[in-house]
Copies of this chain bind each other. A is one copy, B any other.
Amino acid sequence: MTEPSAVTREIRWNEQGLVPAIAQDWQTGEVLMLAWMNSDALELTIREGRAIYWSRSRQALWRKGEESGHVQQLKELRIDCDADTVLMKVDQVGGIACHTGRRSCFYRVLESGDWRVTDVVLKRPDEIYGKESSTRKESSTKKESSTRKKP
């Protein structure tokens, strides 16, 4: 457990001790993903200068890129008026934020009443995480976390 600093003490954590954290490309402005942070994750993000989330499914710190290499280098960190959401401007190493191998996780757009995929897969997940998909921690974590529908 990291000692909370003045910076993290100001955050209004939800009852699970988490806040949503948005990662945005620092140059293009593209929104890459949304994940969650606890106090430790935010402290470490600041200290290490890279995005570190809290994996709700694994209940463990998730150093973005720890397996994929797709690290998010922190360029700027912001909080909103209520101090309950974090916005990071990041340099996305490898140009891929999504575990599906796409640049952004927001690759589906609403069109004519359906969700249409707009972005191409830049690198196949088995190339990113290796052939054994069961050990794809990042990918399975993301899937598990949403399946379990944790806030």
Contact = CB atoms under 8 A, between A and B. Distances in A.
Interface string A29-64: 111011000000000001000000000000000000
A39 B63 CA distance: 32
Given A87-B106, A113-B7, A80 B34 contact: yes
As for how many copies of this chain the complex holds, the number is 2
A31 B31 contact: yes
Given A80-B33, A80-B105, A81-B98, A5 B113 contact: yes
A6 B149 contact: no
A114 interface: yes
Interface of A: 5-7, 10, 12-16, 18, 20, 22, 24, 28-31, 33-34, 46, 76-85, 87, 98-100, 102, 105-110, 113-115, 142-143, 145-147, 149-151
